[in-house]
Amino acid sequence: EIVMTQSPATLSVSPGERATLSCRASQSVSSNLAWYQQKPGQAPRLLIYGASTRATGIPARFSGSGSGTEFTLTISSLQSEDFAVYYCQQYNNWPPGTFGGGTKVEIK
Amino acid sequence: QVQLQQSGPGLVKPSQTLSLTCAISGDSVSSTSASWSWIRQSPSRGLEWLGRTYFRSKWYNDYAVSVKSRITVNPDTSKNQYSLELNSVTPEDTAVYYCARKSVGLTFDYWGQGTQVTVSS
């Protein structure tokens, strides 16, 4: 099973600043990598798929990059509604399509 | 717009069967360009995919190794929904359970609202 490791576990950022989240796969997943945002009491929401393609309705301040085993989610200028937990997920080896442990983006 | 609406009990006794249903609107459980999954989330196990059902000229199922001996995911074409049954539950099965659609070539793009299921006597 492919293990997905996210870092850092918690990221403290001021509104308007840039946030950079990392995700590493234990083996290559090509570009079959997605990012989700989850707020308390809600289901995960798909942000990015194919490592860099924004899902429908996702603002341009969210961008994804990487391929193989190293991936990055960048939020260019954090808005108040962006403070949440972010998960990466690989779907190259599907099923099961494993998730990372999450990065919590909190207000500094 | 695809919507997934979950239903089912929030409390299950140990050794009994957890049963949840996911009603689909805006798509079909028989779609040949999607599969229909159950995923759970707990503090100890994180987000964990459990199983799926999908139709490609006939019905197929796949299950996670961790629950394979205890799980059944079934489609109900008459109601355009699908279900989860997890038997012989223990407190370790306590989690928020989600249904989710995975489009072919994509990943989980639509999710149900989640159901907190607690296993306790």
Per-residue pLDDT, averaged over B51-64, amounts to 97
Whole-number Å distance between alpha carbons of A83 and B58: 43
Tokens of A22: 């990392």
Tens-digit pLDDT profile for residues B69-94: 999 999 999 999 999 999 999 999 99
Residues 6+ apart with CB under 8 A from B100: A43, B4, B36, B37, B38, B39, B108, B110, B111, B112
Q: How far apart are CA A8 and CA A97, in angstroms?
A: 21
Best B3, B44, B47 residue to mutate vs chain A (most A CBs within 10 Å) = B47
**A103 interfacial to chain B (CB closer than 8 Å):** no
Instruction: Give the pLDDT band of residue B5 (cuts 50, 70, 90).
Output: very high
More confident residue, B106 or B119: B119
Q: A54-85 as b/e, with b when 16 or more CB fall inside 10 Å?
A: bbeebeeebbbebeebebbbebeebeeebbbb
Give how far A48 is from chain B: nearest CA, Å. Answer: 10
Angstroms from B17 CA to nearest CA on chain A: 23
- A57 forms bridges with which residues in the sheet? none
Cβ distance B49 to A34 less than 8 Å, yes or no, reads no
Can you give the pLDDT at residue A54?
97
AA identity, residue A101 = G
Does residue A64 sit at the B interface (CB-CB below 8 Å)? Answer: no
**What's the rounded mean pLDDT across residues B64-73?**
96
